Amino acid sequence: MSVAAYKRTISETESPRQIERRILSRVTGELEAYLADYDGAPKAGRGAILAQGLRTALWENERIWTALRDDLAEPANQFPAELKAALISLALWVERETQVVMGGGGTVSPLVEVNRNIIRGLSGDAGEPVAAE
């Protein structure tokens, strides 16, 4: 199957919400793969973990959040104003926190926790927030 046919099939079978959930789930899994090593490492040892692939996962997560933020800022976006503002604020926080982690500081767990909670919301599960492990 060609890439164009694959994209067409996905767009015909998945809602935008399902696509967002799938993409966010994938990148969250990538972040989770490095979470324990990075969060448990001394600052001096974190550069190697970033170079092993965490930096790429962080960059991709930030790209997703930037795309979400840009979509929310569009005048045509029909989300309620309060929800848009909260999600844009969250996207800005993700951007700042990502830069801290890319610099060897902070931890990955809050980024994963935010993603998990958004994934739950996209799944229609409005239960308790998911805490990072």
pLDDT in tens, 111-124: 999 999 999 998 88
- Whether the model pTM is above 0.85: no
CA distances from 102 to 13, 19, 80, 99, 118 (A): 36, 27, 33, 5, 22
Query: pLDDT at residue 98 above 60?
Result: yes
Identify the pLDDT of residue 16: 80
pLDDT per position as a tens digit, 26-56: 999 999 999 999 999 999 999 999 999 999 9
DSSP 8-class letter at 28: H
Q: Which has more pLDDT, 96 or 122?
A: 96
Q: Which has more pLDDT, 5 or 34?
A: 34
Instruction: Say if CB 94 and CB 68 are below 8 A apart.
Output: no
